[in-house]
Chains A and B, each alone.
Chain A
Amino acid sequence: MSEIYVITSGKGGVGKTTTTANLGVGLAMRGKRVALVDTDTGLRNLDLLLGLENRIMYDLIDVTEGRVEYKKALVRHKKYDSLFLLPTSQVKDKTAVNPEQLVKLCNDMKKEFDYILIDCPAGIEQGFKTAIAAADVAIVVTMPEISAVRDADKIIGELGRADKENIKLVVNRIRPLMVESGDMLDMDDINDILSIECIGQVPDDEMVVTSTNRGEPCITMPNSQAGQAYRNIVSRLCGEPVPFMEFPKEGFFTRLKRVFNL
């Protein structure tokens, strides 16, 4: 039996797909059987982040409309063979799948996987409602930025109204130096405001970009800070309490120099 997670955010572009890809790979690296379901119909990207864009034969809509069995639409990862992607259609739109169809599909898939991770589209419309319908747990991704936190609060409210009470928070794209100088909200501030259990703080990291370019999530890179943060989240999902990572601090003199632009 699997645990079904939806990765959602409200605001677009905060890192839902990046988080889904990294957690999926991380869980598969531990030998878990993982299915990643892309529900961002019309704007699919999860295939690209995993480097699987050239292997897609069928998609989510082919499955929900009964043209093929879900197993035929799954794309197996090249390197981690317990990881599968169920891509969505790039030509249809969000109205092509409804919540009942996704619930039924996830129920069918449950026996084959330890984890099903659903990548949710931005917004609170039909695509969101469909994506959350089957989930046991919602991971809300936000950024330390006023509008992203406000939208996360909205999403948390919507999840509550849909009776999704098990909600976790991931704060993505933290810039430690800005936090240190008091110019960015930190994880504790956001915790204070949203009152949701935080399971990860991910730094802003260029390696997210380079690894996306290659189609290999940064969780596989030993020296990536964001990769380390994602490995920690995977541990927490697997029930191992690991401490939150310390970000490298700037010394007083470096700070002095920076503030005076020396």
Chain B
Amino acid sequence: MLEALMKIFGKKESSGKIAKDRLKVVLIHDRANISPEVMNNLKNDIIRVISNYMEINQHDMEISLADDDDSVALVANIPVSRMKHDKGKNKG
């Protein structure tokens, strides 16, 4: 009943809109033609570089491609647990 009401007054997000949003994301990945393996290598490389400067929570890290107007953006969400204060001097 509540759902029906929300539907009439357009409160609940319609399934058509959900389909469109999901499609946009999936097509970015399809079109980029990047294999999960490449994404994973990229992720590991990012972790390696960033770890020189800060301690990060690797398990909660997410990287993905997203729609940014007319271009594709690489979006990374990387939780930082602690900064390293040696300014990244001891690289390698």
- Write the residues of chain A forming the contact surface with B, with a CB cutoff of 8 angstroms: 145-146, 149-150, 153-154, 157, 178-179, 181-186, 189, 192-193, 255-256, 259-260
Contacts and interface: CB of A to CB of B under 8 A. Distances in A.
A150 B27 contact: yes
Interface residues of B, number: 18
Contacts of A182: 10, 14-17
B31 interface: yes
B22 interface: yes
A185 B24 CA distance: 13
B8 to A, nearest CB: 6
B16 A183 contact: yes
Interface in B1-46: 1, 4, 7-8, 10, 14-17, 19-20, 22-24, 26-27, 30-31
A227 to B, nearest CB: 26
Contacts of B22: 146
Interface SS of chain A = helix
Contacts of A255: 8
A183 B15 contact: yes
Nearest to B5: A259
A189 B24 CA distance: 10
A154 B19 CA distance: 17
B31 A260 contact: no
B65 to A, nearest CB: 15
Contacts of B7: 181, 259
Nearest to B13: A182
B29 to A, nearest CB: 10
Q: Which 8 A-B pairs have the closest CB atoms?
A: A182-B14, A259-B4, A183-B15, A182-B16, A146-B19, A189-B20, A153-B27, A184-B16
B10 to A, nearest CB: 8
Given A153-B27, A182-B15, A185-B23, 5 more contacts: A146-B22, A150-B23, A182-B10, A183-B15, A193-B23
Contact of B8 (A150, A178, A192, A259): A259
